[in-house]
Copies of this chain bind each other. A is one copy, B any other.
Amino acid sequence: MYPNLLLKYIDIRKASIKLIKYLSVEDCMIQCNPDSSPIKWQLGHTTWFFESFVLLKYYKNYKPFNLALHQIFNSYYESKGKKIHKLKRNILSRPSFETIISYRDYVDKHIQEMLEVENKDIDFLVQLGLQHEQQHQELMYADIKSNLFENPIDCIYHKTDKILSEHSELDFLKVSEGLYDIGVENEDEFYFDNEQKNHKYYINDFKIANRLITNGEYLEFVKEGCYDDALLWHSDGWVFNQENDLCMPFYWVKIDEEYYEYELHGIEKLDLNAPVKHITYYEAWAFAKWFGGRLPTEFEWETAAKKYNNVKNHNLLDYDKMDAYLEPVSRKGDNQFIGGAWEWTESAYLPYPGYKQDKGALGEYNGKFIVNYMILRGGCSYTPISHIRHSYRNFYYPDKRWMLSGIRIVK
């Protein structure tokens, strides 16, 4: 996709800055839900990653920008000293936004200098740092959305024209019983350790939907009172719903019997043809049960995606190239497994056979999270185009819904 790593580095790092074009310094300070971090912090944290894992180790005589910042931007730090709790990142008025931008520039200058000559030692680390940056770009969109939504008087990120979605008839694609290969397709491209090792998995016959469940279809579920029917829900899901008074997806708003939806451009009427999003695993599972189907396992999903995915139809934004924010629209074609919404699977996040966690801090990247999460596949409309692939395993706790999660049915 990129002629060399230097150009890729420049584009991806720049994309983070384009993303905040419509935000004030004050917008970059806020943190409204326990899962989000301030944008300001994320801009520093992604930069710390490069300074800490590349420059401090491989740049000869590197003079750090300010080591005191590591205490703030290292999310893995486990020492005994004064520490900033994840939920308190919004108290960091200092360093200033301006200082963080200088920090980015300083680190970029040094990394780019290194990338101008060939340097095998740092290739993987820079690639990893860029994947990390892209994960945060997607997170920043989700965080901005959840943060601004709380504001009672002004919740718009950027006003754009809404384009209504279209969708095709729901149809089911067949996959036959057999032993399938699971894992990375192209080992020359970057992949995370948790996509490895490639291995065989025995799968029974199944049929998988050619598209995601729409807001319109989910609205039926809501209107039929399914949130009040304990028998449709996991025990934990039922408790979660009761404790949080759940009765529809996050960002849906009901005013005078009409349903609306909050997007980054504001609150508009619910787009019935768009894929439903911002739902918990519990909601996806209960919907599938009520719909007469179930969720796919991640092995079924990957096998179907490798077989059927129509890559030309994806509607992922090419953030790296983009000049300005465009509200993403739902894809129009069929057989798209990439870019609609993160699709909840019925698989828990577990290590693949033969998985090896790296030693030290980098080994913590994925390995220490392998418990209590469910797997989601396929990327969403905020996922950078160069970041997603069939074997990509995303994971969230089953009660999360601030990210763009959706439903695909299996029968």
Interface residue ranges, A against B (CB under 8 Å): 24-27, 29-32, 68-69, 71-72, 78, 81-84, 88, 90-97, 147-148, 150-154, 179, 199-204, 230-231, 233-238, 281-282, 285, 297, 346-348, 350-351, 353-354, 360, 363-364, 368-372, 374, 398
Chain B residues near A153 (CB-CB < 8 A):
68-69, 71-72, 94-95
Q: Tell me the complex Cα distance, A21–B100, Å.
A: 22
Check A281 against B371 for contact (C-beta < 8 Å).
yes
Chain B residues near A370 (CB-CB < 8 A):
234
Q: In the complex, which of the residues A91, A154, A350, A364 has the most CB atoms of chain B within 10 Å of its own CB atom?
A: A91
Check A371 against B94 for contact (C-beta < 8 Å).
no
Q: Tell me the complex Cα distance, A324–B364, Å.
A: 49
Check B285 against A96 for contact (C-beta < 8 Å).
no
Check B179 against A202 for contact (C-beta < 8 Å).
yes
Copy count, this protein chain: 4
**Closest Cβ of chain B: how far from A298's Cβ, in Å?**
11
Q: Which residue of B lies closest to A294 (CB)?
A: B351
Chain B residues near A90 (CB-CB < 8 A):
29-30, 90
Q: A24-B96, A82-B152 are in contact. List 6 more A-B contacts (CB 8 A).
A: A27-B94, A30-B92, A93-B147, A200-B202, A231-B360, A347-B350
Q: Which residue of B lies closest to A71 (CB)?
A: B152
Q: Can you list 8 contacts pairing A with B, beta carbon distance less than 8 Å?
A: A29-B29, A78-B238, A83-B152, A84-B152, A94-B153, A238-B368, A348-B350, A371-B398
Q: Which residue of B lies closest to A397 (CB)?
A: B372
**Closest Cβ of chain B: how far from A150's Cβ, in Å?**
5
Check A202 against B201 for contact (C-beta < 8 Å).
yes
**Closest Cβ of chain B: how far from A399's Cβ, in Å?**
9
Chain B residues near A147 (CB-CB < 8 A):
91, 93
Chain B residues near A374 (CB-CB < 8 A):
371
Q: In the complex, which of the residues A88, A348, A354, A371 has the most CB atoms of chain B within 10 Å of its own CB atom?
A: A371
A-B pairs with the 8 shortest C-beta distances? A348-B348, A26-B93, A94-B154, A27-B93, A78-B230, A82-B152, A235-B368, A68-B153
